[in-house]
Amino acid sequence: MAKELPFFRFNVSEWLTGNIAYESYEIQGLFIKVCCEYWNRKNCLTIQEIKKRTKEDKNIDYLIENNFLIKKRNKIKIKFLDEEKKQIDDKSLKLSIAGRKGGLSKAKARLKHKEIEREIEIDNIKKEKKIKHWNENLPTGV
């Protein structure tokens, strides 16, 4: 996510009133560090990777035990970041579909414009032929 969206929403009131606010600054800092790593890795991070990156085995286990991090098999999940990623993916898909529809309508409009130009060109050719035919068939003594 880091390249597509280098930041995630951070709700200050949830941070200040949520369970994390009652933890030590050390735990709070570790949690936000894990959130950053998780977001940077597109919400795909194993427990071993995060322990290796933070060197905080005991505190990572504490975050898991207290449901700040959710353990799914060997990976961690962070609910609010997964929800945000889903919202971004859904919006991206909607925009992609809308873009395709817009592209198709523009292509149809270009085709319609070309058809109209061809019809005008054909009409002009017919008019020129009629004028030429009319000029060729004018009585000469008039």
Regarding predicted confidence, which is higher, 104 or 46?
A: 46
Q: Is the pLDDT of residue 8 over 80?
A: yes
What's the chain's average pLDDT? 84
Q: Cβ-count burial of 125 within 10 angstroms (0-12 exposed, 13-18 middle, 19+ buried)?
A: exposed
CA 141 remoteness from chain centre: 77
Q: Answer whether 0.75 is exceeded by the pTM.
A: no
Strand spans (E) along the chain? 45-46, 70-72, 75-77
Q: How confident is the model at residue 110 (pLDDT cuts 50, 70, 90)?
A: confident
Query: Is the predicted pLDDT of residue 54 greater than 60, yes or no?
Result: yes
Mean pLDDT of the 23-49 span: 93
Q: Which strands, in side-by-side order, build the sheet including 70-72?
A: 45-46, 75-77, 70-72
Q: Look at residue 140 in the predicted model and tell me its pLDDT.
A: 62
Residue 37 has pLDDT above 80, yes or no: yes
Between CA 15 and CA 77 the distance in angstroms is: 18
Tell me which residue of 64, 30, 66, 28 sits closest to 46, measured CA to CA: 64
For the beta carbon of residue 90, count every other beta carbon within 10 angstroms.
10
